[in-house]
């Protein structure tokens, strides 16, 4: 799925209280860029629009914060390399309108579904196996 669309869909589901978003904050890239070819060896990238949720929240620099944060376990060999600075942490980013996320985004996705803590939690939530008092 296109990541920009998935953030917009997640934000829309959250705005309309139609889903519980589980995981960690998304990267925060919420703009549409158009690439304009200039000649055979060059092109120009123009930011042509921002992505908003139905309630008017800008995804730019903030990303989508989950309703329930579930942090993925990271293998020891990959610790320290599993996160990247969010959009707000990049040099010359387009500033957000409602503040900026200062947290990093996780880029690690386990190869096996059985090792995916976020997926396992989401399945338990759907099946009703998560105790209500454990929910934030």
pLDDT of res. 42: 92
Residue 9: which domain range?
3-134
Domain count, the chain: 1
pLDDT of res. 1: 44
**Residue 64, CB-side half-sphere exposure with 13 Å CA sphere:** 27
pLDDT of res. 17: 92
Mean per-residue pLDDT pooled into runs of 10, the chain (136 residues) = 68 91 77 83 83 82 83 75 53 54 64 88 87 54
**What is the Cα–Cα distance from 108 to 73, expressed in whole angstroms?**
9
pLDDT of res. 14: 92
Question: Which of these, 14, 5, 115, 106, lies nearest to 51 by C-alpha position?
Answer: 5
Contacts of 89 (CB under 8 A, 6+ apart): 102, 104
**Residue 60, CB-side half-sphere exposure with 13 Å CA sphere:** 17
pLDDT of res. 110: 82
């Amino acid at each position: 799925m296109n990541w920009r669309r998935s953030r917009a869909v997640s934000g829309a589901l959250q705005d309309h209280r139609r889903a519980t978003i589980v995981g960690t904050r998304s990267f925060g890239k919420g703009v549409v860029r158009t690439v304009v070819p200039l000649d055979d060896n060059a092109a120009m990238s123009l930011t042509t629009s921002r992505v908003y949720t139905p309630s008017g929240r800008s995804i730019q620099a903030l990303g989508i914060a989950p309703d329930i944060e579930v942090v993925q376990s990271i293998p020891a060999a990959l610790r320290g390399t599993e996160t990247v600075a969010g959009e707000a942490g990049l040099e010359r980013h387009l500033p957000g309108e409602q503040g900026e996320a200062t947290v990093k985004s996780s880029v690690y996705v386990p190869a096996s579904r059985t090792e995916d803590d976020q997926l396992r939690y989401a399945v338990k939530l759907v099946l009703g196996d998560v105790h209500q008092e454990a929910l934030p």
